[in-house]
Amino acid sequence: MNAIRAWMKERLGIGAVTGFLAKKEIPRHKHTFLYYTGSLILLFLVIQIVTGVLLAVYYRPTLAEANASIARIMTEIPLGWFVRSVHSWSSTFMIAFVLVHLLGIAFTKAYRKPREASWLTGVLLLGVSLAFGFTGYLLPWDELSLSATKVGTNLPKAIPIVGPWLSHLLRAGEDVTGDTLSRFFVFHVTVLPLAILAFLCVHLFLVQRHGMSIPLKEERKQRKIPSLPFWPNFVFREAGIWLVLVGLLLTVAVIFAPGLGPQADLMAPAPEGVQPEWYFLFMFQTLKLFPARILGLNGELVAVLFMAAGLIMVFLLPFIDNRPFLKKGKVITALAWAAFAYTVVMSIWSLL
């Protein structure tokens, strides 16, 4: 065993990595819990990959068979309902922790110099995660998923010049059809996984390179901050939290398994109660509230530009707030709270 270990150490050069991890320390303070959110996202990502591969074994991405193949997974395949339920719930958990991770970093100003690139790759990872959710929502090919996808792929049309082309690219033509389904499947199982792994590697590398950010309040106290060794102390604490969350995930997956609507019919009117996944609800409600015309402009265009501006601001946050790390950032904190409140209120409103 020792010989194998020595051989690996010499041939693979992993001594550098293990040496780094052995010395890595996690600062301890009031906000240490925020450091756990990143690894929790990884946990749910791994669950997504495993359950996703399992589902792809039986799923068939065609107009005629998509809905029926999910019905088969739900009713005939042993534990099929459970695998699908875990996949669906784990996506919810993953996005939820992505949002907590993002808000935590915004509030503690951890995106400031030198961690701008970590933030940029993080927002890209958020975008890829949302794209996973959006493409995955269509795959069951039921009435609701069809209508939600029609709305979602129509949105880019409002953008001048590239908009219509972008919508055609997403839909594979003018309408949502069987080609859209194949396309979304390909994105969901090949393009997006490659993208998420690529961005994730850069993100994780940058986090190690720059080390853990210490929140402003602690840094300003100008005292030595106690720390915790990454291995084994922090990893074991993390493992405990993973265990609890996996238990929670499996419990909700068993109790609240997702349903399956009737097969989508391209000719049928949109069903009542069309809704996207919960993390798109605030956009859905925003669209609903905008009138057809605002100051002579197309209301949809204004709504889409409004949301796009918000996203671009989030992406470029480290350059909008490029003050030195030790400065307070009350405006950004207030804006982050405002964005959070807007999202929560709009999401709840859309459910009323």
List residues binding other proteins (CB under 8 A).
147, 150-151, 153-155, 165, 168-169, 172-177, 179, 266-274, 287-288, 290-293, 298-300
Name the residue with tokens 């709009």: 346
Residue 92 Cβ vs other proteins, minimum distance, rounded to whole Å? 23
Residue 281 Cβ vs other proteins, minimum distance, rounded to whole Å? 13
Residue 62 Cβ vs other proteins, minimum distance, rounded to whole Å? 15
Nearer of residues 14 and 268 to other proteins, judged by Cβ:
268
Nearer of residues 5 and 293 to other proteins, judged by Cβ:
293
Residue 102 Cβ vs other proteins, minimum distance, rounded to whole Å? 27
Nearer of residues 106 and 138 to other proteins, judged by Cβ:
138
Nearer of residues 169 and 239 to other proteins, judged by Cβ:
169
Residue 269 Cβ vs other proteins, minimum distance, rounded to whole Å? 3
H/E stretch holding 315 reads helix 299-315
Nearer of residues 272 and 295 to other proteins, judged by Cβ:
272
Nearer of residues 161 and 255 to other proteins, judged by Cβ:
161
**CA distances in angstroms from 148 to 99, 142, 348, listed in the order given:** 22, 10, 18
Residue 311 Cβ vs other proteins, minimum distance, rounded to whole Å? 19
Q: How many CB atoms are located within 10 Å of the residue 11 CB?
A: 8
Residue 273 — left, alpha, or beta (φ > 0 → left; ψ -120 to 50 → alpha)? Answer: left
**149: β partners:** none
**Amino acid found at 339:** A
Do residues 293 and 299 make contact, with C-beta atoms less than 8 angstroms apart?
yes
Q: How many CB atoms are located within 10 Å of the residue 265 CB?
A: 10
Beta strands in the chain (DSSP E): 25-27, 227-229, 293-294, 297-298
Residue 274 Cβ vs other proteins, minimum distance, rounded to whole Å? 5
Nearer of residues 245 and 303 to other proteins, judged by Cβ:
303
Q: How many CB atoms are located within 10 Å of the residue 193 CB?
A: 18
262 burial via Cβ count (<10 Å: 0-12, 13-18, 19+): exposed
Do residues 97 and 41 make contact, with C-beta atoms less than 8 angstroms apart?
yes
